[in-house]
Structure 1
Amino acid sequence: MPIKDDRGVYEIQVRGLPTIDEALALQEPIARLLCPEPEHSGPCDVPWGFTVHGDEQSHTHTLVVGIYTEGTRAANLADGVRSITPDKSVDVAAGNSGNWATLVEQFQIESNPSSHSSSC
């Protein structure tokens, strides 16, 4: 399904990771892609978070990066993740906002001009 350019929750999924440790090790380089300066002032341009899913049948793991942004930007960020993980399958799709409620809440808080003193 093509990505729409609506603002919302998107998931970038890095599939086929053999261990949970490998999935967790990818979090830091992907976080630096999303937020190159972690000590910046103000909110991140794109609210983001991580989770890991395991597949008992294939004994592999998927690192899921939840982001709240426009579809085009989600696709561009997925390309950046592909550059970090060139030997892995990386997909991007619309996510369920109920699974990423904190991202939606973070965007709503940070889009209020009076609340721009926090960082990601």
Structure 2
Amino acid sequence: MIEALQNDVKTTVEQIDVDRERVTKASVETTESYEQLVDVANRIMAIANNTTMVATAAEEQSQVSKEINRNIAGIGDAASELSNQSDMVNKISHDLHDVALALNEQLSKLKS
């Protein structure tokens, strides 16, 4: 009976190790994705700023200017949404990190 319990604990510890590695990998990948999303958002904002300057210089083409301004608003909304999603990804990354720490703590308790 004790041996069976020891085997169950060993199996559980091994599974926790596997899960911890998966969580750590997911956390790293989430952080990398967050950084890439931030870079994309910055590039979108730079494009939006450049487009605004071009639209201002081309006042005689009011219809084109209005269309560009609508597109800029859409890009701004997309950048804002992307920023919000980036914040969510960052929070999830931190949550995954916390889960990894908790798993490590549980693993340490089981090993001792």
For the superposition of Structure 1 and Structure 2, which TM-score range results when normalised by the shorter chain?
Answer: under 0.3
More strand by share: 1
Considering only CA atoms, is the larger Rg found in Structure 1 or Structure 2?
2
Q: Which has the higher helix share?
A: 2
